[in-house]
Amino acid sequence: MTFLPGSPAPHEYNPYFEGYVSLAREVADPIARLSEQLEEVLELLGSLPEEKRLYRYAPSKWSVQELVGHLSETERIFAYRLLRVSRGDQTPLPGFDENAYVVAAEAEKCDWDRLVAELAAVRLASVLLLGNLPEVAWTRTGSSNGHPTSVRALAHIMIGHVEHHVTMLRERYLS
């Protein structure tokens, strides 16, 4: 990528996502980072012992399989928002209840290899979508969950969201 979109300004995203954006703020090339991050996640998940897949670090917390399913679903939602905003669509986009999605997905019943392959496919689709955007699209802004959101903010949120959950996985599930 020769064009570097820069980091999003605070007015380009919902303050709720500041934690995710802050984890990716220094990323100069979001497409390269999304690709690198996928490799890191696949390596981590590939080394995960089978007995850890259904592990929860506390009774009310998601299992590792649910967490992997959540990563795929959330990436899809962020990518959908990104597509709409990048095309100049000004239709307000709704939020979603991540906990309800996790319950409805029943990821613990899914085959592990297929769940991981789905995450890889979803991330690859995001990388390809971003890689084909015209430069002008990166700063387009739409509305998501009642807040302004830009394409470059969504790319940084995608990176930070996965970074956050990988840190949680290492610190609370695998330590």
| Mean pLDDT in residue range 6-10 | 96
| Mean pLDDT in residue range 42-49 | 96
Q: Going by C-beta distance under 8 Å and a sequence separation of 6 or more, which residues neighbour residue 54?
A: 63, 64, 65, 108
What's the pLDDT score for residue 175? 87
| Mean pLDDT in residue range 163-172 | 97
- Nearest alpha carbon to residue 168 among 10, 13, 6, 19: 19
What's the pLDDT score for residue 77? 98
Distance separating alpha carbons of residues 28 and 32, to the nearest angstrom: 9
Q: Which domains does the chain have, with CATH numbers?
A: 14-173 (1.20.120.450)
Q: How high is the mean pLDDT of the chain?
A: 97
Distance separating alpha carbons of residues 126 and 124, to the nearest angstrom: 5
Contact (CB, 8 A) for 161 and 20: yes
The tokens for 35 are 């690709």
